[in-house]
Structure formats: C-alpha cells, structure tokens
Copies of this chain bind each other. A is one copy, B any other.
C-alpha cells in the first residue's frame, strides 16, 4: 500500500514535534530569564531548565530511535522527507555521541571556570584562570576525540561540525589565509583615509523610551513581523524564542544610541530568518536554521550589507532626528552617521570591533583553538601566541595584558556554550551546546560576514538593491532572502544552499570586494 510507505518516517515526525514542544518551553524560559526574571527567581528557574534539558536529552537519545531511523531509511521518501530524515538523524547522532559522565564533568568544570573567570578577568589573574581552564581544555579535547572518531573527522573538525556541519579546517585555512593576504593592508589604508575625515560623536542623553521607539520604527522598515515577535531589553542582546514568536532584545545606554540601534538591526536579521523558516517543517530539524554561520550571515546581511549602507543610513538619519526631536543636531546628519557606523579602529576587544578589524580577531582565535584542540599547542601557550598574533594582525601588544588578551572572551571557559551563541536555534542547537563545547564556534562569525557579502553580490544581479533601500520598501531584498535562504531552512547542506543561491560555494573574493568598496 503506497499510503504506508512513510509510516516510520511519520512516526519520527511526530516524535520530533514532541521534542520541539519541550524545546519551546526551554526557549521561552531562557528568554524570560534574560529579559524579565528577578534575581530571586534564578534557582528555581535553573532547576526547571535543567530538568527540561535532561528530559529533551533523554527523548533525543531514546534507544528505539536507532531502529526507527533504520526502518525509515528503507521507505520510499520524497526528497524533502529524505532531507528531513537526514537532519533528524544528525541531531540524534550529535545528542547520543557523548557519554553522560563526560557531559556532566564538562558542565561542572565549565561552570567553575566561568564563575571564577568573572572576577579573574577583572583582576588580570591568568595563573588563577589557567588552573581551572586546564580541565576545561582537557575535557573538550576528550569530547573532540570521541566526536572525531565517531564521525571520521579530525578532532577540531569534529568540533566545527557542531556549529557548521560540512565545514573543515582545510577550507577554513584556505579562506582565512586568503583574508590574511589583503586584510592588514586594507585596514591601514582605511585608517589613513579616515584620519582626514571629521566625525562628531553623540553627546547628551538619549532616553530609553526614545531609543525604543526609534528601534521599533527601524524594525518596521525591516519588516519585522510583530504578530510573531517582540522587542525587549536584556543585559546581553540576543535573539531567542521560537519561529512563530521571536523575541529579540537589546540594551540601551542613555549616553549613546549608536550600539543599541545597530544592535536592533542585527537582531532583526536573525529574527527575520527565524520568522521566515518554512511552516511546512515547523518543529522538525529540517525546518530549523541551517547553521550558526548562515544565521550570522542573515544578521550581518541586515547589519553590514543593509544597515551600514549609505542609503539605509539616510533612513536612520531621518528616523533618529524624529525620535530624538533633534532636526538640527549635527550628530544625526547622514554623512556624520555614516562616519560613525563605518569608523575603523584597531582595538583589543572583539565585541567592540568594527566591521573591518573584526575578522582579524576571529582568525586569531580560530588558529589558536584549532591547534589547542588538535593537541599541537598546550593551554599555557595561549597568552604568548595571542600576543604574537595580535602584534602581527593589528599591531597591538597584549603581553601581560590577559584581561584584554586571551581572557576577554567567555567562549573558551564555558563548554556548555550557553553564553556564547545568540540564543537562536533554541531547538536543536541548545542541546548540542549543552552536551558540547564552544571550541569551534568562533569561525561562524566571519563565515557569516563572508556569506552575507556573497549573497549581496548575487542579489545585485537581479534586484535593484540600492533603489529598494532608497524607496523605503525593502521587500525585493527580503523576497530574495526568503526564496534563497529562509524558506530553504535545512533542506540542503550549507554548501548546497550557498551554491543554489549564488552559483558557487563560499568565495572570499566577495567579502574583499565589499570591504574595499566601503573602506577604500
């Protein structure tokens, strides 16, 4: 009977939808903890979230799943069903790979290291940090080894696979060494050019209320769907929730609107990807965002390709003058806002870095974590390597300055990865985060920036992007993203997705061209 040809597959669909309902709860509790929860609520919340995560892990690793997958693979499935099965199986393998005692040991070591890091970083206390971190690194290496053996990958490639399935050290080495051949010179040229350009920085008070209305106006311009999402506040901005109800947050600094405003543009990019995922696959792994790098490509498309373009800044200028009732304030003049949002500055801190120097921060981390996980270097080698690489890429010395050097990021102290990623992909990714580690995550940032540039380059062939932004109706841009990225969810591998959208796999040339166009 032909109607029964996908019985086992259908059983899996229903099972993964059940898992998804618990992930929904987890996602909303996570958002609430960041956006609303009073401090006294945290113990009970942690317990509830831990219970949910144990429950999801148990469901995701049920022994009978092996049989269900084997049976479903014998069925005659459509191409979409096959993709869906592949993605379920991938999540199952990821979840079932690690022994529980390792996961638990990682969780304990990571919490201890991260907790101490909060004060150790402030005190520039490398030797205190190093003692805890040693264990985290060692357990992450063990994780990488187990993953690598199971997947037939090298240790670091197995860690990359958690965030960027299909990406390898070989391809990253090629991409990043290409970037290293032209980036330092480009940074110098941009700095030289900008030295002569005047800039007026914001001063005064920009009320939270006014910043919020401005943010909401910009979200409307970017066609955020307010029937399926909200804007709130949290200490660390993120995009959370579920595709039918995406919760983005920002943080307002009343002495400066610049970061919060562009942060909202960035998170709106994440949000529209989630809101644009195909309804037909709601709750299934194949209906989730493709990867961390592709997710970042959407936020960075919104922030870097659209948000910091001259034409979009014309809108920001008009809207911010209105929001702050400051028609004559020279800070909000188009040309000045453009200066603010494209200013290049060599600094120590990744999260404060501009578009142009950001890849240097990422590549440095990539090279270090790659060698660390593969056992080529030891964790005690990191500060000296950091100093050396910072000097080489940005000309800054971090000798003895652990605080603004290798101790600045929380990523490597937290194998659970909870604080690492944006909170999107609360579905599959949360579980992978929890059973995993954050080594292997950094490359996603720069991969995202590169994908975004490549998408724009292709889009420009069929869409009049400039005219769309100028007109204030950006629909043609979003239609392209929806057709080529959002609606495709995880139906294809990352390489296939990018090839279908742009005719080629990731090519750093588009990124270079974009940066040269903007900064030279």
Contact = CB atoms under 8 A, between A and B. Distances in A.
A243 B48 CA distance: 13
Given A38-B230, A40-B225, A51 B29 contact: no
A409 interface: no
A135 interface: no
A77 interface: no
A52 to B, nearest CB: 6
A436 to B, nearest CB: 23
A18 interface: yes
Interface in A17-37: 18, 21-22, 24-26, 28-29, 32, 36-37
Contact of A244 (B26, B41, B55, B228): B41
Contacts of A29: 25, 28
Given A18-B51, A51-B21, A38 B242 contact: no
B226 A38 contact: yes
Interface footprint category on A = 35 or more
Given A38-B230, A244-B40, A28 B21 contact: no
B38 A228 contact: yes
Contact of A21 (B41, B48, B242, B244): B48
A227 interface: yes
A47 interface: yes
A182 to B, nearest CB: 45
Nearest to A25: B25
Contacts of A41: 228, 242, 244-245
A37 B230 CA distance: 8
A38 B228 CA distance: 6
Interface in A26-76: 26, 28-29, 32, 36-41, 43-45, 47-48, 50-52, 55
Given A25-B52, A40-B227, 16 more contacts: A18-B51, A21-B50, A21-B52, A22-B48, A24-B45, A25-B29, A28-B32, A38-B226, A38-B228, A38-B229, A38-B230, A39-B227, A41-B228, A43-B244, A44-B243, A45-B245
